[in-house]
Chain A
Amino acid sequence: GIQVEQSPPDLILQEGANSTLRCNFSDSVNNLQWFHQNPWGQLINLFYIPSGTKQNGRLSATTVATERYSLLYISSSQTTDSGVYFCAVTGKSTFGDGTTLTVKP
């Protein structure tokens, strides 16, 4: 099956810093989502982005399908951004292992 790898596994930032999270996938995909899982376990949709670039406030994402990777950018991070960020190839219901982000005040 398809492999989804995320990096880095853990990231600690000071409030206000920017960050880039990466997702590599082993095969061509038609659907890729980024999620944020909050401390209570809720998976929140951030982006559905099989290709191209999207922006939503301080967050943006880019997927280069031909090179099999996606990037999630978080700018001016806030403590509420803390949690686990997953990318998932939702057509295969396959998740990466996640990046745990901690934003310190």
Chain B
Amino acid sequence: DTEVTQTPKHLVMGMTNKKSLKCEQHMGHRAMYWYKQKAKKPPELMFVYSYEKLSINESVPSRFSPECPNSSLLNLHLHALQPEDSALYLCASSPIPGVLTDTQYFGPGTRLTVL
């Protein structure tokens, strides 16, 4: 099973709402990633978890809060977002953190609209 799943597929939220995005993989991968992709742009790295610990935070605003409850699951908690945070949020996983020969596998993404 080489699949990364993400829920929900679409999310519309107001600026005062709190919501969460969920990502799951059952490939035994020990690195998981959140990316943000705006229209007609490449994905931009937000966070990396290695062995369930946050290893990279690309200076992401605190209104985005990642969580890795176990090796298969990655959440992104959203609070007090701005309309400019509307984007496609992609989750990815790779087998071994810190190894330069990793292959990343991506989920289908959550399309977020902030009103």
Contact = CB atoms under 8 A, between A and B. Distances in A.
Interface in B88-115: 88, 90, 92, 94, 100-106, 108-109, 111
Contacts of A26: none
Contact of A90 (B88, B104, B108, B111): B104
A73 interface: no
Interface residues of A, number: 22
A98 B37 CA distance: 12
Interface residues of B, number: 22
Nearest to B105: A45
A91 B104 CA distance: 9
B102 A96 contact: no
Chain B at the A interface: mostly helix, strand, loop or mixed? strand
Interface in B43-85: 43, 45, 48
Nearest to A38: B108
Given A86-B42, A96-B42, A50 B101 contact: yes
Contacts of B33: 93
Contact of B48 (A30, A40, A93, A95): A93
B42 A97 contact: yes
Contact of B103 (A33, A41, A96, A97): A33
Contacts of B108: 40-42
Given A90-B94, A96-B42, A31 B109 contact: no
Contacts of B45: 93-94
